Structure 1
């Protein structure tokens, strides 16, 4: 039950879907009767390491997944050191560290002014949430979003590090946030085909938010 997420693993609701062509099966499908969202903690779970130390390391026993270490080791995302996971701050598109990546963004777009003009951000396809973790150090609150996928539930790493996060997939539904809720939307090689179906998913974001910083394998745009 450790990996069970009621609204995502609702097999009965997923079987009733008329189509799954747009990824509907990855969206939330909450049970019609009763919720059972309390999932047992892993064996050996410890009190989380407090912020700001948690930005750089968490207990291995709290998120006992090694797949990311094996698959992303060369991209500087995460390493294991005895009883802890450590986060060098890297990512697929910023292997030299999120801090340097944020400095580069600030140089390209001075008006972004992290911590001043930009205070609330959304990170789509966040991985282990190093982007959000290092933005928090710059007085920016970031909501990190990622799906539950073959690399296990990456959101667990974000939450253990003290970064706000949610499991979500971009398919056919808007996220549960009002217009202009975020100053910045970031996607760094999040593998989402934003231009699919007449740019349906990009339009969903455009409807919801007024500022998008987007670095993606499908397109590279800045909308403000």
Structure 2
């Protein structure tokens, strides 16, 4: 069913860091000059979406990855080795803690999840990166609602539905089994929960 398959593309993990950044600025209760927003949103868009797409085609031409699904455990090494330094740059230089604690720790949570995923790859264990992305985003938005005391129930309901839709999609196309789905959710949720106390 194409409808189910489409959720894997719509909620691809590459989109999640940018989505989290965009949602942060949309629901942020205080005032932020447009120039400040652009100084974060544009670099995040370039580093988390455009650069990885270009590098994906390079890695594919070199034969290091076979498809965007990264179905083999070994295929995940090169993309993760690329994603980790990119996320380090964003965390340290684009959204340092003094600039935005919420975004800083969002990306630090992503960084922890990426390291955990890479560690599992060396153990020949596969986790759903799709689930890691959407579950991490949902956790981050939940924490934003708590932190800023916002009523974002509708947004959270939509994100929770998205988590279910992505899980169903990944199972339907046989990209993952239930264990890999659950592991991906845990990799997305736990790092964001661990860094949440440091927001304050």
With the shorter chain as reference, the TM-score category is under 0.3
Task: Calculate the TM-score normalised by the size of structure 1.
Answer: 0.26
Structure with more strand by fraction: 1
Structure with more helix by fraction: 2
Per chain length, whose mean CA-contact separation is higher, i.e. which structure has more relative contact order (CA < 8 Å, sep 6+)?
A: 2
Task: Calculate the TM-score normalised by the size of structure 2.
Answer: 0.28
Rg comparison, structure with higher value: 1
